[in-house]
Amino acid sequence: MYDVVALGELLIDFAPQSVNEAGYPTLSANPGGAPGNFLAALNKYDCKTAMIGKVGDDMFGRLLIKTLQNAGIETKGVLMEKTSSPPWPSFPWTKVATGISALPASPGPIPA
């Protein structure tokens, strides 16, 4: 039995890490999503937690599941989607000198 089960999104936050030799920002992939973050915090207080959600069957989906497992969160309820794309695009955000800008990316799992 679990103390808390969360249903929701898991995502990758692309945060600026540095700038390459051509002046373009390089981004780091950071696991995120409020439900997963909340469950990870609860686990630190000895709560037994589980996540329900869906991720793509790609390197980011595997990173998300591994991150949850490393935090002690049960992931049996997290499905890996192999064949279809989610209905929304992803928008990695970068901070530039003039403010914040979104870089639209293709929806769906990223090929391995």
The pLDDT score that the predictor gives to residue 102 is 47
Contacts of 37 (CB under 8 A, 6+ apart): none
Residue 109 included in any domain: no
Residue 49 included in any domain: yes
Please report which residue ranges of the chain form alpha helices under DSSP H. 34-43, 59-70
Full residue range of the structural domain in which residue 79 is found:
4-86
Residue 31 included in any domain: yes
Which pTM was predicted?
0.72
Residue 99 included in any domain: no
pLDDT in tens, 87-100: 544 554 445 554 54
The pLDDT score that the predictor gives to residue 86 is 53
Count of beta carbons in the 10 Å neighbourhood of residue 78? 20
Contacts of 91 (CB under 8 A, 6+ apart): 102, 103, 104, 105
pLDDT in tens, 57-84: 888 899 999 999 999 999 999 999 886 5
Number of structural domains, the chain?
Answer: 1
Residue 57 included in any domain: yes
Query: At CA 99, angle to CA 96 and CA 26, rounded to 5?
Result: 25
CATH of the domain at 19: 3.40.1190.30
Residues 44, 68: contact at Cβ < 8 Å?
Answer: no
Residue 106 included in any domain: no
Residues 63, 13: contact at Cβ < 8 Å?
Answer: no
Q: What is the CA radius of gyration of the chain?
A: 16
Residue 102 included in any domain: no
Residue 80 included in any domain: yes
